[in-house]
A and B are shown apart, each in its own frame.
Chain A
Amino acid sequence: MIDREQVKKVAHLARLDITTEEEEQFTTQLNSILGYFEQLSELDTADVPPTTRAIELSNITRSDTLKPFPDKEALVQAAPEQEGDYFRVPKILTSDEG
């Protein structure tokens, strides 16, 4: 089960700023959903291998050839803020990396 402190921690891990109201809501709702998951413990899976993809595919390889995207300008322009050929972001280094 998940408590409010954990909800806050998870929100931080997910880079989501949540309000006190959301904190409360998510705690209740996630607990109800996690409670529903408990039925999975009825199944013995000790010797069962996990399925990671729906259809098993062996390694898919292709030749590593360079294919430049034809419209670099469009990619740069799609950014909220840019400077020349670069994406511009606010200051990265802060004292609070929590």
Chain B
Amino acid sequence: MYQGSIRELHQQLVNKERSAVEITNEALAQIEKVEPKIHAFLAVTADLALETAQKVDDKIAAGEEIGLLEGIPIGIKDNMCTKGIKTTCASNILANFVPPYESTVTQKLKDASAVMVGKTNLDEFAMGSSTENSAFQVTANPWDISRVPGGSSGGSAAAVAAGECVVALGSDTGGSIRQPASLCGVVGMKPTYGLVSRFGLVAFGSSLDQIGPFARSVEDAAILLNAIAGYDSADATSLKVEIPDYTKFLKPDFKSTGGLKVGIITETFGEGLDASVTKAVRKAIAQLEALGAEVKEISCPRFRYGLPAYYIIAPSEASANLARYDAVKYGMRQEAENLVDMYTSTRATGFGKEVKRRIMLGTYALSAGYYDAYYLKAQKVRTLIKQDFEQAFAEVDVLVCPTSPSTAFKAGDKTTDPLSMYLLDLMTIPINLAGLPGISIPCGFDEQGLPIGLQLIGNVLREDILFHAAYAYEQATEWHKQQPSLS
């Protein structure tokens, strides 16, 4: 199980070499073995997993055909509602929240008989870049347990890297899938805004949030996206588009597919980038060229303004979204004499530091007298960033840059200075602002043996090109086959 891809495991199930229950038990055994070090899961749903696996085995025994995801162990970030199973967002305010309904993505995975093994850790309400903001536990990076896995979907990234599940779901508002994927040496993809339904995903920054897959290979990511993408009337931002079979685009080179034009975002190779990251990403670009891609430099002069714009827009939207935690309908309550005191004391005890900070920042940016200077200004800058991308995609098919300016850092290193943590999202944020799809794939290691990620960015709804480019690169390299020793 630890090394298996979805297709390999599927073939073993079909050939009756292993049963789904055996595969699930192996995943649960791996969880039991490594969790004392990794702490990727907030909850392990062993009974439910074995029950689902048994149903898959019954189907196989009855001679029925099974789908690719049937019997495949999967982790779900704990900000997606699972009916009857606690969904905490790694927050005290939702510590005992049991959703009375199922999110669309997890319903789709249930329908596909994927085996959910547990709910994964995250930065509280997905706010953070290290998973250290979880109210419950700190997740370790499987490549070096003294380091962070990235965030906010650090639990999902670490669980996939440590072989605790085959694939996982994360959510990405400013890089929360791609950055932890990069730091944990796995594949992580943020699809086009609106491609995957967010019904049942706890809202953070509604104009930015998107759900996407984590996997140990590009093919597995494509298979998982196949299962979760598609229109949903329950999400007003859901796109009514035809969903292709993404595995069709997994071709090993660009010569047979009419070539590929790759643009290197010049501005991303400036100061603040680790030398090892620069080297690995440059080498990866040379590899794309060797595969038949035509490579050129592309300037996105407003790219770097994405970070300040984002840290106005996302907290503003968050401050509005998190107003719903009022201790009335669900979640924790601090008793008080009157309603306002109940609100303020519940929110004071229920939210962690970073969440409060962002609520404060957003409330300030939206408040009378400051709206034009901050929120409106940021939205206008967002337009300029989109324009840079539009111009770039008039010339090239895909853009490349590092996913993260540095490799995994030590736990505790950046917790006292919030701004230094925000700066880590420099490379991933502009993609969310423009609604574009982006993928991070392993492209090397630094001198300390920590993974480095290559980010590929596509135009709106061009997941096909992203998968093609990512797959061709992956097949020509061995990075994705490396695994942490977990010693």
Contacts and interface: CB of A to CB of B under 8 A. Distances in A.
A30 B360 contact: yes
Contact of B335 (A43, A49, A90, A94): A90
A61 B321 CA distance: 22
A94 B194 CA distance: 44
Contacts of A89: 328, 339, 342
A47 B308 CA distance: 20
A54 B432 CA distance: 7
Interface residues of A, number: 54
B363 A10 contact: yes
A2 B364 contact: yes
Interface stretch (B121-129, B159-167, B379-387, B473-481): B379-387
A13 B363 contact: yes
Interface string B314-334: 000001000100111111110
A51 B484 CA distance: 42
Given A37-B374, A79-B329, A90 B386 contact: no
A10 B367 contact: yes
Contacts of B382: 50-51
Nearest to B192: A55
B435 interface: yes
Contact of B331 (A7, A16, A49, A80): A80
Interface in A54-72: 54-55, 57, 60, 62, 69, 71
Interface string B396-431: 000000000000000000000011001000000000
A55 to B, nearest CB: 4
Contact of B381 (A2, A45, A90): A45
A94 B207 contact: no
B259 to A, nearest CB: 27
Contact of A50 (B335, B341, B376): B376
Contact of A37 (B302, B312, B433): B312
Interface in A13-33: 13-18, 22, 26, 29-30, 32-33
Contact of A75 (B100, B236, B339, B359): B100
Contacts of B302: 43
A91 B337 contact: yes
B199 interface: no
Contacts of B233: 62
B419 A36 contact: yes
A16 B413 CA distance: 28
Contacts of B418: 29, 33
A84 B340 CA distance: 23
Given A13-B367, A16-B356, A40-B309, A54 B377 contact: no
Contacts of A91: 337-339
Given A33-B419, A43-B381, A54-B207, A74 B309 contact: no
Given A10-B363, A43-B302, A91-B338, A74 B100 contact: yes
B112 interface: no
B384 to A, nearest CB: 6
B335 A71 contact: no
B95 interface: no
A41 B192 CA distance: 29
B66 interface: no
B54 interface: no
Given A39-B305, A40-B305, A94-B338, A55 B374 contact: no
B276 interface: no
Given A15-B344, A33-B361, A45-B381, A57 B333 contact: no
Nearest to A57: B237
B249 interface: no
Interface stretch (B29-37, B345-353, B439-447): B345-353
Given A30-B361, A89-B339, A49 B383 contact: yes
B145 interface: no
A90 B339 contact: yes
A89 B336 CA distance: 10
A49 B387 CA distance: 12
Given A17-B348, A26-B356, A94-B339, 8 more contacts: A17-B344, A48-B384, A54-B434, A55-B193, A55-B237, A60-B236, A90-B336, A90-B341
Interface of A: 2, 6-7, 10-18, 22, 26, 29-30, 32-33, 36-37, 39-43, 45, 48-55, 57, 60, 62, 69, 71, 74-75, 78-81, 87, 89-92, 94, 96-98
15 contacts: A15-B323, A16-B344, A16-B347, A16-B356, A36-B311, A40-B381, A49-B380, A49-B383, A50-B383, A55-B460, A62-B233, A78-B329, A90-B336, A90-B342, A96-B340
Interface of B: 97-98, 100-101, 192-194, 207-208, 233, 236-237, 239, 302, 305, 308-309, 311-312, 319, 323, 326-333, 335-345, 347-348, 351, 356-357, 359-361, 363-364, 367, 374, 376-384, 386, 418-419, 422, 432-435, 460
